[in-house]
Amino acid sequence: MPNSYLLTVITFLPLAGSAALLLLRGDDHAWIRRLALVVALAEFIISLLLLRGFDTASPFYQFEERRAWMTSPPIYYHLGVYGISLFLVLLTTFLTPLALLASWTSIAKRVREFFVMLLVLETGMIGVFLALDLFLFFLFWEAMLLPMYFLIGIWGHERRIYAAVKFVLFTMAGSVLMLVGMLWLYNVTGSFDLPVIQGLLQSGQVGLAPRAELLLFGAFFLAFAIKVPLFPLHTWLPDAHVEAPTAGSVILAGVLLKMGTYGLLRFCLPLFPEASRRMAPYVATLAIIGIIYGALVAMVQPDLKKLIAYSSVSHLGFVVLGIFALNTISIEGSIYQMLNHGVSTGALFLLAGMLYDRRHTHLISEFGGLATPMPVLSALFLFVCLSSLGLPMLNGFVGEFLILLGTYGHNARWATFAATGVILSAIYLLWAYQRVFFGGVTVERNRALPDASRRERVILFSMAAVILWMGIGSAPFTRRMEASSEHVLTQMQRPSSYEARWNGTPQSAPLEGKLPVLAVAQERAGHP
């Protein structure tokens, strides 16, 4: 197996890089930046190798690595990539070097620690996408939290401590529930290994009582919904974004939010199918509220970063809606929209950061007429806005369109309400754009602001290239997602005994627990 260590390399290269950074002298900023960038770029190039060996037709995990780690409880070091995580990994490795570049000059204090945190964070994020063992997953999930906490708390703006604590508390609340859920699953199946658990549940060898399934679904769902964030659990997001440094915002919006939607696709749907189906109308309602609510609140924000943060609530609402519309098209659209949001919103945060670097403010009213001093930056800003508002031939449209198309086939009313988001996104983005860039220069000192530097152009043009490519040539992406997206729906199918249990047919037996004796005992006791 020539590639058998590829995933390990991809996961831990940034961590090794951050260790190497620690060997450098703390005040040698130039080399710290360069080394960090080299590591991140190498990581990106290596991660591209995944595309070469990836079998498009297979819905299963590929490049799998599985080694026993602990024997009791049986915990495996188990990594694997499939159609849904493939591009999320690439998104992570693509955004990290750009986030590094964006922090090139704006981070002045504790430079080494900053880049160390960013690389550790990268390992955590990739680990979450690749881990196939629940325990390992949880480890990466929590490992991700810490560097983000420090990124906001140390390098953030004025209210950074409040925002960082709020971020951690929200996420922790979710993770605790998820941990309980994982232990419960282990208790029922005797395994932490996701494919094993999936197999047991899917074949009906282990059955969950409806009530148990609903509870488990709830535990996982809450953890992910906070991360997404789904309305009304979103209030940590604007604060975290406003206070985070640019790189933090880019990673937060670009990758971290996707952990939530990825988790929904990976755990909630395949493991708890009937609970997902029954809860779908409620989740979809929240998602639609989020789409409209996020857009409306974004519209009236005086702070550019807050505006982008609320727009994320709106965009992620689309993703959640697509997932819970439970069909191949909408799920593929959701995965695509995750990538789009990562690129477009990441780019918006980068742009907002570039304005911040020049003026040290995010307030829209402090700008106005910037198109005159900075034509290139304003053109690119518009380009990214257009991608975010879903202009056809740019990436955002493909995702939104597929989500709505798939959702319409499932429930026309959901799609109709959600589609109003298409109008609203045009309103808030174009209005903000007008206030920042059009008209005469309103604040005199803005007249002398420099246009995009070469470093900034490299960042923005690579973003723009991806935006355009994903908008025109979406097929190479969706082709690789197709099998896995369909497979999610296959995984949701269960033997008839499962259905019967939900419908309350008497012969159904809640084969709960791994001790058959007890299960039989329960049955005898006439327990439902």
Q: Which residues bind other proteins (CB under 8 A)?
A: 166, 169-170, 187, 232, 234-236, 293, 296-297, 299-301, 327-329, 332-333, 369, 371-372, 386, 391-393, 397-398, 401-402, 404-406, 408-409, 412, 415-416, 419-420, 422-423, 426-427, 430-431, 434, 437-440, 472-475, 478-479, 482, 486, 512-513, 515, 518, 521-522, 525, 527
CB of 243 to other proteins, least distance (A): 15
Structural contact between residues 112 and 106, judged by C-beta atoms closer than 8 angstroms: no
Burial (Cβ within 10 Å: 0-12, 13-18, ≥19) of residue 327: middle
Q: CB-based burial of residue 524 (10 Å sphere; 0-12 exposed, 13-18 middle, 19+ buried)?
A: exposed
Those residues with Cβ within 8 angstroms of residue 334's Cβ, 6 or more apart along the chain or in another chain: 261, 265, 318, 319, 320, 321, 322, 323, 399, 403
Which of residues 264 and 403 has its CB atom nearest to other proteins in the complex?
403
Q: Under a CB-based contact definition with an 8 Å cutoff, are residues 103 and 246 in contact?
A: yes
Cβ-based nearer residue to other proteins, 115 or 417: 417
Other CB atoms within 10 Å distance of the CB of residue 4: 10
Q: Are 483 and 408 in contact (CB under 8 A)?
A: no
Indicate the residue among 124 and 406 with the shorter CB distance to other proteins.
406
Q: Which two tokens stand for residue 326?
A: 């439970």
228 backbone dihedrals φ, ψ, rounded to 5°: -55, -50
What is the nearest approach in angstroms of other proteins to the Cβ of residue 373? 13
Q: Residues 138, 175: contact at Cβ < 8 Å?
A: yes
Considering the complex, state which of residue 41 and residue 427 has its C-beta at the smaller distance from other proteins: 427
CB of 245 to other proteins, least distance (A): 23
Residue by residue, DSSP assigns 186-254 as: HHHHS--BHHHHHHHHHHTSS---HHHHHHHHHHHHHHHHHHTTPTTS-THHHHHHHHS-HHHHHHIII
Residue nearer to other proteins on the CB measure, 95 or 297:
297
CA–CA dist 523, 528 (Å, integer): 8
Give the Cβ contact number of residue 16 at 10 Å.
13
Enumerate residues 6+ apart whose C-beta is below 8 A from 402: 322, 329, 330, 332, 333, 336, 337
Number of H helices, E strands in the chain: 22, 2
Closest distance of CB 193 from other proteins, Å:
18
| Residue (22 or 300) nearer to other proteins, CB | 300
As measured in angstroms, the least distance from the Cβ of 329 to other proteins is 4
- C-beta of 35: minimal distance to other proteins in Å? 34
> Which of 363/423 has CB closer to other proteins?
423
And the tokens for 171?
């996420």
Of 440 and 504, nearer to other proteins (C-beta) is 440
Q: How many CB atoms lie within 10 A of CB 109?
A: 8
Q: How far is the CB of 402 from other proteins (least distance, A)?
A: 5
**Closest CB 407 distance from other proteins, rounded Å:** 8
Of 123 and 474, which has the nearer Cβ to other proteins? 474
Tokens of 195: 């494919």
Least separation in angstroms between CB 431 and other proteins: 7
Is the CB of 38 or the CB of 382 nearer to other proteins?
A: 382
CB 143 within 8 A of CB 171: no
Query: Closest separation between CB of residue 362 and other proteins, Å?
Result: 16
**Among 114, 175, 115, which Cα is nearest to 143's?**
175
